[in-house]
Chains A and B, each alone.
Chain A
């Protein structure tokens, strides 16, 4: 392994521009003559728009235009779509209510988009917006996930009676019911997977520009997947044909899923730019991000685990109500179905599983994928059930897991997924050692002597990543394939440009992809550049989410590099006057086997381009190859996290004392970057467990709409982490990569809650386990102990 090869913790190339303030984010983009957009948003959760009078606003200084839903409809602009079809158990398709880009007649959540004001300056646009008179007919709102489908609740969409989008099921009810009927022990839990707001540090933004000379549009957007955005804006919303629409996602300041989706703002800016023939720029304020970025999680679940007399799990069943908000966002339908229920086997050999999911509309922001997307919800169900079942039956939580681990692979679960490779017991052993689990009793005693309650919680998570095999997801309702593309362009003097359909918004692709190329072609990393995020430069790709860029994106790159090597050897054969089969390529040099005739990669590239040594009719000049890689399976990162914390029973304050993570991500390209992903994921998972929660009041007002009210994890809320890995290479891609981007966010929440409930003597506590919630639970525990 070289200093810059696969497996090396190479420092990041992209850091130089970020630490010097030379990043190029969308709000840094300014186009000559640009106008600024400001969106007027609904202050009501549910209302008709009875009258909208913009006449005074239109006369406001600097105003170029004001548009409403009527203008959008008159231009026959399409609405936003959900690209994953889910069918209910009765065979009917999901009830997708229309999702116009500007409200038409009705608003359905606080923040819903009513009008856009476009003016010479942002201040002028804001001032003008205050002069728009809107008369709303207020309607009662429904915000409670558990109650939204009850008869008599306010209805959001005519197409969805009882606000029900679908009733979906996976697994086998009959055999699972039988397993429960025969069980020696049944553990039952009710929980809420609390609603979260992704809050990447960069708010969403868009700059749209129209070129009347070529009748073409350019959109700068904070997107994780510019080609998908272009496809939707073109084919479904109809703003321009794809070949005359350029979408650029430059440096993007974090996404975590929230920047996958196509939103009203960039759509309206793009449409308006052509309408007024001026560039239109919009930058979201943080409050707008709170109100209108797709939220995450928001499940209400009842779940049960059946055990036999030996502690073997014989069945798991779950009933979930999933809140999708006021409209179906781009991938929303898939998150509580195929990204959730398919992981309910966890790391365990569970023969019978039954899962029922009802998805509902409420007068809240649309809900869609957020780091983990369905898998944190599944892991929470499984790992809380398992931990509680262990305690209820008097077994050590680690050993209870161990006797139920899957030990042979491939393993077909009852919920579609076939796990390919893993070493669950190995990760558990390593984690127990790293966490010094043997010393826990002593540490608990020491804490108790200080008046504190120490608890330890496990989370043996598994996830399905590397999204995804196209035929598989197609058969499950996805509207698109989830392969990935890469192109390798070798320049005449041997520098290389990689064009990837993935997108880096923090993941370090400019470094890791270059490591792969450097290692394969034997050229220094400085000779490689990685290009992403521009639909004019890069062929179609599906973007970055679901921990797919390594597993799927680098596999495409690897295949393209294979083709480069094949072509290069052909050229080398001509140059070195040998048979192609006698050419070897190693450490950046082509050599004729058994001789010292050789040519280095850079010189070979030049030969390919000057084409003097071979017939251009027999062998095409040039050295450029592309590949599309369609995975044959999901990948299955898995591991064990152990959280050890102290509860102060006087104040309810929780202090995490140590965090141990042992993860199996298959082959690691850059261990430093992998660790960073785990750290960040753990922080978000701890945030969910202890700090974060989006709250709407009964009228649908978002009470947590700023960083003052929504508690983001800060440096002093978190500990340092002990992170290690084991490796079972992924058998389904050429590099053996499983992916690592979501693991921490999936593993962490149950580890924290398991630890708190251990500390409190198993009194349950809801997420977020704020000091108030923990204090209340501690009082209940004391009371129960006294009885």
Chain B
């Protein structure tokens, strides 16, 4: 067993876990934050994307034990005071999800894309930027629209960048 500790969605969390425990397992099984999903075993699908210290990472590919003192944000930590993050709202507005399984990772990756590339994203930038997130349901057309809207709304939002 190894001791892990980090802040998740603003709350200090720690536990003794099997050293092989991935961050996604720590979140889902120890913290019962089941919004982050496991969709593959080769770090391709992106369903597990969360933010660690302000950047998107695939939580299936990092050991919980390596995140001592990190600030982790999951999908559950985005909405503030009952109000959806603009990217979450944009996904609903544009029908950017169907089964919902890829959605948390897609939203977290999209927010990171905006953080890196700014609020005025063209179609090619969005499509390229979401290469690490696979969706089987939507055909991506509405996801692209959602991300473009979410990006503009994030820039226009009165509050600072989401949940970082």
Contacts and interface: CB of A to CB of B under 8 A. Distances in A.
Chain B binds chain A: yes
Interface stretch (A10-18, A293-301, A350-358): A10-18
A123 B29 CA distance: 13
Given A20-B84, A680-B136, A716-B128, A201 B34 contact: no
Given A254-B137, A508-B98, A20 B40 contact: no
B78 to A, nearest CB: 7
A201 B134 contact: yes
Interface residues of A, number: 59
A25 B123 contact: no
Given A15-B92, A286-B41, A673-B95, A199 B138 contact: no
Contacts of A708: 42, 44
Interface stretch (B51-59, B141-149, B154-162): B141-149
Contacts of A20: 35, 75-76, 78-79, 84, 88
Contact of A12 (B18, B42, B95, B136): B95
Contacts of B107: 19
Contacts of B45: 201, 286, 707
A253 interface: yes
A14 B18 contact: no
A551 B124 CA distance: 37
B58 to A, nearest CB: 12
Contacts of B127: 715-716, 718
B65 interface: no
A721 interface: yes
Contacts of A715: 126-128, 130-131, 133, 135, 140, 143-144
Nearest to A198: B136
Contact of A676 (B35, B42, B133, B142): B142
A121 B42 CA distance: 22
A675 B141 CA distance: 10
A201 B131 contact: no
Contacts of A25: 34, 37, 101
Contacts of B88: 19-20
A285 B92 CA distance: 29
A486 interface: no
A721 B141 contact: yes
Interface string B67-97: 0000000111011000010001101110101
A505 B99 contact: yes
A68 interface: no
B3 interface: no
B47 interface: yes
Contacts of B144: 715, 720
B39 A203 contact: yes
A185 B76 CA distance: 64
A123 B22 CA distance: 12
Nearest to B147: A715
A21 B141 contact: no
B162 to A, nearest CB: 13
Contact of A123 (B18, B99, B123): B18
Interface in A245-286: 251-254, 256, 283, 285-286
Contacts of A648: none
B133 to A, nearest CB: 7
A506 B92 contact: no
Interface residues of B, number: 57
A707 B102 CA distance: 15
Contact of A712 (B92, B95, B136, B141): B136
Contacts of A672: 95
B118 interface: no
A15 B103 CA distance: 10
A524 interface: no
A506 B140 CA distance: 14
B139 interface: yes
Contact of B139 (A253, A285, A508, A682): A682
Contacts of B101: 23, 25, 200-202, 253-254
A55 interface: no
A19 B97 contact: yes
A672 B138 CA distance: 12
B139 A11 contact: no
Contacts of B104: 19, 21
A438 interface: no
B6 interface: no
B139 A680 contact: yes
B10 interface: no
A200 B99 contact: yes
A707 B99 contact: no
A251 B100 CA distance: 9
Nearest to B130: A715
Contacts of B42: 286, 706-708
A201 B123 contact: no
A734 B31 CA distance: 49
A253 B39 CA distance: 10
A28 interface: yes
Nearest to B141: A679
A22 interface: yes
Contacts of A720: 123, 141, 144
A707 to B, nearest CB: 4
A716 B48 CA distance: 20
A507 interface: yes
Contacts of A675: 95, 142
A101 B97 CA distance: 35
B139 A19 contact: no
16 contacts: A15-B91, A19-B88, A19-B91, A19-B103, A23-B34, A121-B18, A200-B137, A202-B101, A287-B41, A675-B95, A680-B136, A706-B40, A707-B134, A713-B139, A715-B133, A718-B127
Shortest beta-carbon contacts, A-B, top 9: A21-B35, A253-B101, A18-B100, A679-B139, A683-B139, A506-B99, A506-B98, A21-B75, A707-B44
Interface of B: 18, 20, 28, 32-42, 44-45, 47, 74-76, 78-79, 84, 88-89, 91-93, 95, 97-104, 107, 123-124, 126-128, 130-131, 133-144
